[in-house]
Amino acid sequence: MTAARQGLTGLLDTEAIRKDFPVLERLVHDDRKLVYLDNAATSQTPRQVLDVLAEYYEQHNANVHRGVHVLAEEATALYEGARDKIAAFINAPSRDEVIFTKNASESLNLVANMLGWADEPYRVDQDTEVVITEMEHHSNIVPWQLLSQRTGAKLKWFGLTDDGRLDLSSIDEVITEKTKIVSFVLVSNILGTANPVEQIVRRAQEVGALVLIDASQAAPHMPLDVQALGADFVAFTGHKMLGPTGIGVLWGRQELLEDLPPFLGGGEMIETVSMHSSTYAPAPHKFEAGTPPISQAVGLGAAVDYLNAIGMDKIAQHEHVLTRYAVERLREVPDLRIIGPDTAEDRGAAISFTLGDIHPHDVGQVLDELGIAVRVGHHCARPVCLRYGIPATTRASFYLYSTPAEIDALVDGLEHVRNFFG
């Protein structure tokens, strides 16, 4: 074990990084050091982000836009400055293409609703089709089920291969001339699979369908370039990338944001209102009704600063090395079955598995008693569990502060679990 660990190169200086995260000092169950391996559910928040949040409330808090007093101007500059930071982070052609939402789920619902109320050529109605995949998070399934129930559109999806990849063998039958939108996850939160964007985008473009990419598990972990992806919309969420809860992002191509109708109506999203009719502000404001999550956007901006300072390339490499090590070590555990790709290639740093017929709830609970936090259940991707005939999985997921020693602790913990229920 130590031998394998010593051979690892390309890791970040986690000792320094971990000092920025107060919660990682937390002791649980009296005296156990927390081993936090639940990063696909939510990430922890560094001091640098917390400081920015505190400073926002202690120095600059005001409602944004249109204020002529100092605080309002400062808060607006901070909020809009955060938009600039996010735009740069994802290489958006324009800052006005970055919409702040409350989470990735709202971002995904926003697109589904835009298309439901859109005019031609975007309108989703009973003569059209919507394509998703069997590995989507519920937040990228249910909005499309609702849309298809409400418009009569047909919902189709790509199935999965036995080794946890998209089955694209019949891509030309799934994505057709009737397809209005293809929405899929860049990196699966349950399988870890990283999907072949290019092939899907190419086919979608062939038939003139829009593409929405759920990058919730990608934006935190690798360089993200919305122009290189070639998609029309990209959604992600702040709390998984060192940011606060309560903030999500939808990036969309400018022409589309101009053409598509608004979703939530209210203050901030209007140009002018009379009782009889209203006109809407240009994007992104058109899609940001009401007082936005101001401090949360500012906090997400600080998170992006933090990530940039370390370097997304380096973070991706760190996680890749960890994932390879984890896959190797997990293979040593008898009766452990990885659900999803069982190598470190083309996958993210979330690894789901089953352990004999010990129920994941029991695995998770016993690990918790050792201070090891993993997630158990269907991970909001129940169709994947159905597909592989399992009720649930245990999932360990890593981030920039995760260490090989934590993976060793996990493996030791799993041995303990086996003995405990053996």
Partner 1 sequence: MYQDVILDHYKNPHGRGLRDGDAEVHHVNPTCGDEITLRVKYEGERIADVSYEGQGCSISQASASVLNDLLVGKDLAEAQKIQGLFLELMQSKGRIEPDDAMEEALEDAVAFAGVSKYPARVKCALLSWMAWKDATAQAFAEEAKTA
Ligand X SMILES: Cc1ncc(COP(=O)(O)O)c(C=O)c1O
Q: Which of 93, 290, 334, 391: binder of ligand X (CB under 6 A)? A: 290
3 or 68: whose CB is closer to partner 1?
68
From the list its own copies, partner 1, ligand X, none, which binds 28 (C-beta under 5 to 8 Å, kind-based)? Answer: its own copies
Q: Which residues of 113-122 are buried (b: 16+ CB within 10 A; e: fewer)?
A: bbbbebeeeb
161 or 365: whose CB is closer to its own copies?
365
Counting contacts by CB under 6 A, is residue 137 touching ligand X? yes
Do residues 330 and 394 touch, judged by C-beta distance below 8 A? no
CB atoms within 10 A of CB 365: 12
Q: Which of 208, 267, 282, 334: binder of ligand X (CB under 6 A)? A: 267
Counting contacts by CB under 8 A, is residue 170 touching its own copies? no
Q: Which of 85, 90, 97, 109: binder of its own copies (CB under 8 A)? A: 109
What string of DSSP letters covers 264-331? Answer: S-STTSEEEE-SS-EEEPPTTGGG--SS--HHHHHHHHHHHHHHHHH-HHHHHHHHHHHHHHHHHHHH
Counting contacts by CB under 8 A, is residue 141 touching its own copies? yes
From the list partner 1, its own copies, ligand X, none, which binds 45 (C-beta under 5 to 8 Å, kind-based)? Answer: its own copies
Say how far apart CA 62 and CA 69 lie, in whole Å.
Answer: 9
Tokens 């008693």 belong to which residue?
Answer: 369
Q: Which stretch binds partner 1 (CB under 8 A): 61-69, 104-112, 213-221, 335-343?
A: 61-69
Q: Which stretch binds ligand X (CB under 6 A): 22-30, 209-217, 279-287, 330-338?
A: 209-217
Going by C-beta distance under 8 Å and a sequence separation of 6 or more, which residues neighbour residue 88? none
R_g over Cα of the chain: 22
259 or 362: whose CB is closer to partner 1?
362
Q: Which of 38, 129, 214, 408: binder of ligand X (CB under 6 A)? A: 214
Q: Interaction with partner 1 in 402-421: which residues (CB under 8 A)?
A: 420-421
Counting contacts by CB under 8 A, is residue 385 touching partner 1? yes
Q: Which of 121, 149, 136, 134 is nearest to 207 (CA)?
A: 121
Say how far apart CA 361 and CA 375 lie, in whole Å.
Answer: 9
38 or 214: whose CB is closer to ligand X?
214
Q: Phi/psi class of residue 246: alpha, beta or left (left: φ > 0; alpha: ψ in -120 to 50)?
A: left
Question: Is residue 96 helix, strand or coil?
Answer: helix
Going by C-beta distance under 8 Å and a sequence separation of 6 or more, which residues neighbour residue 13? none
Q: Interaction with its own copies in 224-253: which residues (CB under 8 A)?
A: 237, 239, 244-248
Q: Which of 14, 189, 393, 394: binder of ligand X (CB under 6 A)? A: 189
Least distance to partner 1, CB of residue 358, Å:
8
Say how far apart CA 94 and CA 402 lie, in whole Å.
Answer: 34
Residue type, 186: L
Residue of 270, 281, 380, 390 with catalytic role: 380
Residue 27: strand pairing partners: 33
Say how far apart CA 231 and CA 252 lie, in whole Å.
Answer: 9
From the list partner 1, its own copies, ligand X, none, which binds 126 (C-beta under 5 to 8 Å, kind-based)? Answer: none
Counting contacts by CB under 8 A, is residue 295 touching its own copies? yes
Structure tokens at 347: 């996958």
Active-site residue flag, 380: yes
Counting contacts by CB under 8 A, is residue 360 touching partner 1? yes
Q: Which of 36, 6, 9, 8 is nearest to 242 (CA)?
A: 36
198 or 271: whose CB is closer to partner 1?
271
Do residues 115 and 147 touch, judged by C-beta distance below 8 A? yes
**Taking CB under 8 A as the rule, which mask of x and - marks residues 236-275 in contact with partner 1?**
-----------------------------------xx---
Say how far apart CA 141 and CA 154 lie, in whole Å.
Answer: 13
Residue 235: strand pairing partners: 214, 250
Tokens 């559910």 belong to which residue?
Answer: 41
Counting contacts by CB under 8 A, is residue 67 touching partner 1? yes
Tokens 């005296």 belong to which residue?
Answer: 31
Q: Which of 60, 221, 375, 378: binder of partner 1 (CB under 8 A)? A: 378
165 or 379: whose CB is closer to its own copies?
379
Chain residues binding ligand X by CB under 6 A are 103-105, 137, 139-140, 185, 189, 214, 216-217, 237, 239, 248, 267, 290-291, 380
Chain residues binding partner 1 by CB under 8 A are 65-68, 72-73, 76-77, 271-272, 358-362, 365-366, 376-378, 385, 390-392, 420-421
